[in-house]
Structure 1
Amino acid sequence: MKIDEILNQGWQHFNLSLDNKILTVQLDTKGFERNDFDASVIDELRQLGVLLHRNIDINVVLLCGRSDVFSFGSDPKAFKLRFSPETMLERRHDVMPGADMAEAWSKIEAITIAAIDGRCRGAASVLSVACDFRIMGEGVEFFFPEVPNGMILGWGAIPRLVELAGPSRTKQMILFGEFLSATICEKWGLADEIAPAGESHIVAQRWAEKVTNLPPLAVRMTKEAIDTYSTALHASAAVADRNRYLVAGHIRAGLLK
């Protein structure tokens, strides 16, 4: 699908703009003050990732939120709905879209950059680590609240975090669920540059312009080679990841003891 067709799809939960082969995706989840995700937001982001997979009309996808908040991640109300269907098969089906969304974004051939300001929580943090680079503004609160709330972190995030930060730091950030500052994120390999508060998009735009001035075929082939080497075991981890997420969700919902 050509980029003009993608731009005119009538997306409900983000705004798209294109300039110099840089596609900016600004999260604007209607009805959610904090850019929360629900099933429809996740599905649209998955659809967009799939459509952009091998698109050659773009060199960079720049994902951002607002200057005061990237996203609070999954809407807590959506959690109960995931485990309301009667059969285990139906429930398993209902927890798949988040992992599919993150995987779709990780497979986009163009370079992907997340520009993060304010709070970035849970599902939104998972989406950001599926991108190639992360630019964080000062004052960022980046965290994964799942384990302290009786869940496990899913959606393929664990192997990606281990790749970025190493096993010990991944355990720290997931088990404790504490806010990570932009400085800590940079030290741990989660942030590639720190911007002034509210200006992550400006710095990310500079990164995007550097990328789009490079030979696009060489960029795509290099990204593919690096990702292939570094994520060779991710697929096997993702299968177990989805099943663990399902079981843990049932325990938290009181469906298993």
Structure 2
Amino acid sequence: MQAYETLRIEQRGAIGIVTLHRPERLNAWTPATGKELVHAIRALDADSSVRVVVLAGAGRAFCSGADLDFFRTQREKGEMEGGVTRSEEFPLLMRNLSKPSIAALHGYALGVGATMALLCDLRIASQETKIGFLFARLGVMAELGSTYILPRLVGMARASELLFTGKMYSAAQCEAWGLINRIVPEGQALEHAVQLGEEIAECAPLSLQFTRHALYQGLENSFPGQLRVESLALQYLYSTSDHAEALEAIRQQRPPQFRGR
């Protein structure tokens, strides 16, 4: 696998793990982080041996937000790149992945660390995690599509509170509001995310891909339109080798061997 300056890439079976790796800076985000994430996640998405992508952080935090020292220096030089990211490439890549993604949160998920986690389909947090959308306290605003995702995830009122106060919230509060899926003991977020990924990876890859895309289409589609999406997807999936394999595995009382075709 390619070496990166700000990331570490690992594969455990069918699980591709992308770890933010600037532990001395609590994995604070720079433009280089964004560029490397796009490259690494695109490569994992194209790898048929990877069926689930997990995003994690090294050291004491998932991500403490943007590297303020870096951006302060850039501002003084007149070289600001338009905020934390230069483009919409990373959030669009995450939205259009062909496989599920899981964020494994621990320590702090602040600012872009919080909005980055929103781009994943599922979020596992260790019990000590603090999550905060600190943007309003820094004179900026949330990005990476978070003003689209957050109200749909927790409702407009709670999204407004999270964004307007700029406070840090506990993992327990975020779980109660539906921002994260589950809380696990301290130090076990990655382990539990991989375990969940392994359960997901037992399912047929094409079924996961079509289901994931249908769920996101459903956020915008009409009910009749979504029925049509499901009908067309099922028409295709019924014809796949994986569906035939599932039926044969049931007949033979054995686990199916899905190939993604």
> Scaled by the length of structure 1, what TM-score is found?
0.78
Q: How does 1:31-180 map to 2 (within 5 A)?
A: 32-66=24-58, 68-80=60-72, 81=74, 85=78, 92=82, 96-97=85-86, 99-180=88-169
CA displacement at 1:149 relative to structure 2: 1.8
Structure with greater Cα Rg: 2
Is the Cα contact below 8 Å between 1:43 and 1:97 reproduced in 2?
no
Counterpart of 1:223? 212
- Aligned amino acid, residue 175 of structure 2: E
Q: Deviations over 1:1-56 (max 9, x none)?
A: xxxxxxx22222111111221101111127x4311111111111122233344543
Instruction: Name the CA distance, whole Å, in 2 between partners of 1:126 and 1:11.
Output: 22
Q: Deviations over 1:213-247 (max 9, x none)?
A: 11111111100111122256xxxxxxxxxxxxxxx
Counterpart of 1:210? 199
Q: Deviations over 1:60-92 (max 9, x none)?
A: 001111363111121013434269658xxx955
Instruction: Name the CA distance, whole Å, in 1 between partners of 2:32 and 2:116.
Output: 15
Q: Deviations over 1:89-121 (max 9, x none)?
A: x955x7653642222222221110000010111
CA displacement at 1:135 relative to structure 2: 0.2
Instruction: Name the CA distance, whole Å, in 2 between partners of 1:167 and 1:84.
Output: 38
Is the Cα contact below 8 Å between 1:62 and 1:115 reproduced in 2?
yes
Instruction: Name the CA distance, whole Å, in 1 between partners of 2:124 and 2:2.
Output: 28
Instruction: Name the CA distance, whole Å, in 2 between partners of 1:41 and 1:96.
Output: 9
Alignment RMSD, CA only? 2.2
Counterpart of 2:21? 28
SS in 1 for 2:174: helix
Instruction: Name the CA distance, whole Å, in 2 between partners of 1:12 and 1:164.
Output: 33
Instruction: Name the CA distance, whole Å, in 2 between partners of 1:21 and 1:77.
Output: 37
Assess, with a 3 A threshold, how the Cα gap between structure 1 residues 95 and 25 changes in structure 2: closer, same or farther: closer
Is the Cα contact below 8 Å between 1:144 and 1:153 reproduced in 2?
yes
SS in 1 for 2:104: strand
> Scaled by the length of structure 2, what TM-score is found?
0.77
Is the Cα contact below 8 Å between 1:46 and 1:100 reproduced in 2?
yes
Counterpart of 2:172? 183
Is the Cα contact below 8 Å between 2:61 and 2:108 reproduced in 1?
yes
Question: Which runs of 5 or more structure 1 residues have no equivalent in the other structure?
Answer: 1-7, 233-257
Question: Which runs of 5 or more structure 2 residues have no equivalent in the other structure?
Answer: 222-261
Which structure has more relative contact order (CA 8 Å, sep 6+)? It is 1
Q: Deviations over 1:178-229 (max 9, x none)?
A: 1111111111111101000111111112210110111111111100111122
Instruction: Name the CA distance, whole Å, in 2 between partners of 1:166 and 1:20.
Output: 36
Query: Percentage identity across aligned positions?
Result: 24
Q: How does 1:188-207 map to 2 (within 5 A)?
A: 188-207=177-196
Instruction: Name the CA distance, whole Å, in 2 between partners of 1:192 and 1:165.
Output: 12
Assess, with a 3 A threshold, how the Cα gap between structure 1 residues 75 and 91 changes in structure 2: closer, same or farther: closer
SS in 2 for 1:77: helix
